[in-house]
Structure 1
Amino acid sequence: MTTKTILVTVDKPTGKAAAAVMQAEYAKSLTRAFRKAAEALNEGTEITVEIKVAAGEYDGDLGSGAYELPQFDNVDGRLHILGGYNSSFTNRDPFHTPSQIITIRERSAPIFKFAKNSKLAALVIDGLVIDTGNSNNYDAQTNSLMGHGSCTHPFFKLMYFETNLLQFSNCVFMNSPHRMMEPLIRAASDAAEIRYDNCIFLNNIIPIKLDSARFRHKPARIVVNRCSFLLNWALNPDVNTSNPAALEIGPADAAHEIQLTNNLFYTNFGGAILALNLKMPPLIVNNNNFVGNGLMHGQPYTDAVAMIVAAGGRKQPLDVDDIEDVPHVDEAEGNVSIDPGLPLAVGNVQTVDADAIQPEANWQNEVRAILGLNLDGGRVEINDFAPRQTYNAQRPPFATNPAAAAYGAAPLAEPVM
């Protein structure tokens, strides 16, 4: 298999000089790099295209805050998007020298939208910091994210991408105002995998649901390993909300197995894992650290609301020790609750009970009742709900407590030879 390397920097002279030394191609933008990659891959040969991205800020096609990728059509080709390089591409440290994908206030599309029905042997996205805070609407008075006025398109829209491997590694996903993504690939074979390795999910509304697109094959497994779910939020601050937790388990057709191992779930306001489907893939939930995920449920103790399941006709929050009793959980070994020592905390968040909100007594609701429409409720006061976070490359959110160092994302410094 041959390898083609494309270098992307925010500084053109430095990028061209590095490309000459490395016998690589230079692209002045990610947009152009994606086009070059598609041209090489679509020749149909067995090839790996590496797009290496230097540290800096990248703001979409022509500054639009989003990327629309070209068609990829090569079942033997692999595309690796690798961020975190220094300007000379001699060192890679994605968390401390980040390649940041930022957006704009007027964003109106997914951050990465793939062309429909693209096909590759593997798609690997490694070492990007993706932050949609610029396209969110925040209320200064309540210090809260507002759904109205925020762009709720996902970070990734895969459009039935067909592959044997979808992998996200060493990435940071932050400030999503709605679900960050569902990895809805079409599995190219029964050996297909979806993987999240050493990633950080920070300050998102319901970050990910583990699912795949229905196709001829079902992925062998979905793996979430050594990831940190930090300070993520429910769909809304209501204990009865439909989507309270940081990570959601899809239905039985999502994969043959789902593995959650060596992860950190820290201060996720509505709970860590949501597993409500009556039929789910077999779950492996081993060696995870659950700390402070029960605040919305009024459960402040450290190991609360590690998982939420359907039981007795309701959403039942479970502590760490109860995970092994869930019917679809095949293994639940080595799970703990150890303070990681992170510099993150929630503010004075106010929750609501939707059942207690009474319709407003006004003529508009009288008309709506006659027409059989939903009634407008009273005003709900919120405070400190999903306020914007910024990424600090000098102090990434890694565990500082040595006893908790084995859980969640860890620093990566990869020298380039």
Structure 2
Amino acid sequence: MKTLPTQFALCLLACMMAALPALAQGNNSPSFAKKGREWFVSKANGSGQQGTKEKPAKDLGNIIHLLKPNDIVRIAGGTYLSKGSMGADEINVPVHIIGGYDETFTVRDPWDKYKTIFTGTNEYMKSTSPRLYIRTEQQREANGQLAQGGTILVDGIIIDNGPRNRYHLDKGLAIRRKADPTTGQNPSPESGGIVIVGSKYTNIAVQNCVVMNTAPSEGALSVRVFQGGKGIIRNNLCLNNTGYGIFARTGYVGSDPKMTPQFLIANNTSLFNWKHDPIATYGGNALALDQFLTATVTNNVFGFADMGGVYNKGSRIVMSNNLFAGNSKYDYDENGAKMKANDILDEAMLVDPSSDGNEAALIKIPIGERWATIYGSRVEISREQVDASVTVANTGANQLRSMLGLNLQGNAVGMDAEIFLPLLQLEEGLPVGFMPWDGKGCVLPKQQ
């Protein structure tokens, strides 16, 4: 019984992957239907903007203005800061971004030998936009019509926002969301690591990626699919982010099953998801799902979230063989109804009855001992604690407000946590993604 949903998901994955290379010709607008070219990027050997295998570019940011729909960009291992070390890349046409290559672009090993790391620096006036932002929904044809179609793929990219964040007293223990012009420090970017917004009839896939140390209000890894499109989010590792580790979003409002965006979310590991800020009542979920989409969610690990594992805002889903571990409030939230893993099939109204195999368990996580010690010593602050600590000042203004029947003003209370989204080093976190738990979660991408 437990293997049937997995077999179904694998079948769906094969079908969806087969659909990614090309959409139905009638759904592609003229510019998004053209065949693209290959580009090559190497931090070590790149120079100029030719972007060929023989003469690669030095950074993706240096050639973004030259990219055309359906281009394929192959990126060698190295640490990339974007054009001008701005720490953010925005692309406005459907492309494939593939990292983890050796310098000859013949071998891939994206999480081990040839890590392609996208990061930045925390300097005043540097970008606070998503580290990799691909959006095509605003592009228009020559006749003014919105462009549609094409495919978007991001594969084998490691996003580490740690160097982009501002940490209190530079100790790496707690981020700060405001800039400090006196020290020349930017705010911690309030944006995701990989954010993709497609067009109508655009298929999108994100796989074999790592997103860590990001501080968005919504998704650290966010994919928004519009009508007629499909989304695949598979074998990704999301660690130590605020908001939602993974966010499946929709750009469609309606009920036509042929137009409703379809997602496959499989074999991902999303752990240590923090609330937006220490006293927030939102964020802190391993996976969030928009309304007006359908999804198969299978063989993932969702754990150690400030709130919960899966936050379903109204989509109908098949959810099978997922592992929940250490979530603070719940494992599954369906429009405000909060459940533990063992109660999902009994109580959920939006989870297909064929779903099976979801479980909660204690797991051993191969994360760095230094960071684990810091995480284990944090003190959580609730909104209730803050509200209870507010006292009403006996000021002339409050006396006047009292006579007028207005609410009294309380004094300001500083409740910044001493530990909040502490800096996780890549070498401390990456081993978490190497081995699954009983077939659940991401695995080390095989050398190719």
- Indicate whether the TM-score tops 0.5: yes
Decide whether the 8 Å contact of 2:137 with 2:200 is kept in 1.
no
In the alignment, is residue 123 of structure 1 matched against residue 159 of structure 2? no
User: Cα deviation per residue 1:2-46 (whole Å; 9 max; x = unaligned)?
Assistant: 6632111012269999824xxxx73332124433431xx3xxxxx
Number of the residue aligned with 2:78? 56
Tell me which amino acid in the other structure corresponds to 1:183.
V
Task: Choose which of 108, 116, 129 in structure 2 pairs with 1:109.
Answer: 129
For residues 103-252 of structure 1, what are the structure 2 equivalents within 5 Å? 103-105=120-122, 106-113=126-133, 114=135, 117-118=138-139, 119-140=148-169, 143-148=173-178, 149-156=187-194, 158=196, 161-178=199-216, 179=218, 180-187=220-227, 189=228, 192-207=229-244, 208-214=246-252, 218-238=259-279, 241-251=281-291
Question: Could you give the per-residue CA deviations for residues 49-84 of structure 1, whole angstroms, max 9, x where no partner exists?
Answer: 321100001112221111232x43xxxxx6211001
Q: Secondary structure at the match of 1:392?
A: helix
Match of 1:306 in 2: 331
Match of residue 342 from structure 2: 321
Tell me: CA distance 1:365–1:235, structure 2 relative to 1, closer, same or farther (3 Å).
farther
Report the equivalent of 1:272: 309
User: Aligned letter for 1:9?
Assistant: S
Aligned partners of 1:395 and 1:37: how far apart in 2? 31
Q: Deviations over 1:229-260 (max 9, x none)?
A: 0111122345x713332222212x2x1x1221
Output the CA distance in 2 between the equivalents of 1:98 and 1:368: 63
Provide closer, same or farther for how the CA distance between residues 349 and 90 of structure 1 changes in structure 2, counting only shifts above 3 A.
same
- Per the alignment, residue 93 of structure 1 pairs with 109
C-alpha deviation, 1:359, in angstroms: 2.5
Deviation at 1:91, TM superposition (A): 1.1
**Residue 229 of structure 1 aligns to which amino acid in structure 2?**
S
Structure 2 equivalent of residue 350 of structure 1: 379
> SS at 1:62's partner residue?
helix
**1:80 aligned to 2:83?**
no
Aligned-partner SS, 2:37: strand
Which residue matches 1:300?
none
Cα distance between partner residues in 2 of 1:338 and 1:286:
15
CA RMSD of aligned residues (A): 3.3
Read off the aligned partner of 2:384 and give its amino acid letter.
D
**How many residues in Structure 1 have an aligned counterpart in Structure 2?**
372
| Secondary structure in 2 matching 1:321 | helix
Q: Which residue of 2 aligns with 1:336?
A: 359
Task: For 1:286-301, list aligned pairs within 5 A.
Answer: 286-294=320-328, 297=329
Q: Aligned runs of 1:396-415 on 2, under 5 Å?
A: 396-398=431-433, 400=435, 404-415=437-448
Q: Over residues 306-362 of structure 1, what are the superposed CA-to-partner deviations in whole Å (9 max), with x where a residue is unaligned? A: 11344xxxx554221111121111143112334443223332221233234242443
User: 1:165 and 1:226 mapped to 2: Cα distance?
Assistant: 19
Deviates more, 1:93-102 or 1:374-383: 374-383
Match of 1:285 in 2: 319
What amino acid is the match of 2:166?
Answer: N
Tell me: CA distance 1:194–1:376, structure 2 relative to 1, closer, same or farther (3 Å). farther
Distance 2:107 2:43 in 1: 16
- TM-score where L is the length of structure 2: 0.73
C-alpha change, 1:98 and 1:269, in structure 2 (3 Å) is same
Contact 1:368/1:375, CA 8 A, preserved across alignment: no
Q: 2:64 aligns with which of 34, 39, 47?
A: 34
Mapped partners of 2:137, 2:394: distance in 1: 48
Q: What letter corresponds to residue 60 of structure 1 in structure 2?
A: S
Gaps of 5+ in 2: 1-21, 23-34, 140-147, 179-186
Amino acid in structure 2 at the alignment position of 1:307: Y
Distance in 1 (CA, whole Å) between partners of 2:356 and 2:201 is 31
Corresponding residue of 1:45: none
- CA distance, structure 2, for counterparts of residue 266 and residue 397 of structure 1: 12
Helix, strand or coil for the counterpart of 2:151?
A: strand
Q: Identity percentage over the alignment?
A: 20
Query: Structure 1's 368 and 231: CA in aligned 2 closer, same or farther, altered over 3 A?
Result: farther
Secondary structure of the structure 2 residue equivalent to 1:65: coil
SS in 2 for 1:12: coil
Is 1:4 aligned to 2:44, yes or no? Answer: no
Partner SS state of residue 233, structure 2 = strand
Which consecutive residues of structure 1, in runs of 5 or more, have no partner in the other structure?
A: 42-47, 73-77, 298-304
SS of the residue 2:39 aligns to: strand
1:26 match: secondary structure:
coil
Structure 1 counterpart SS, 2:64: helix
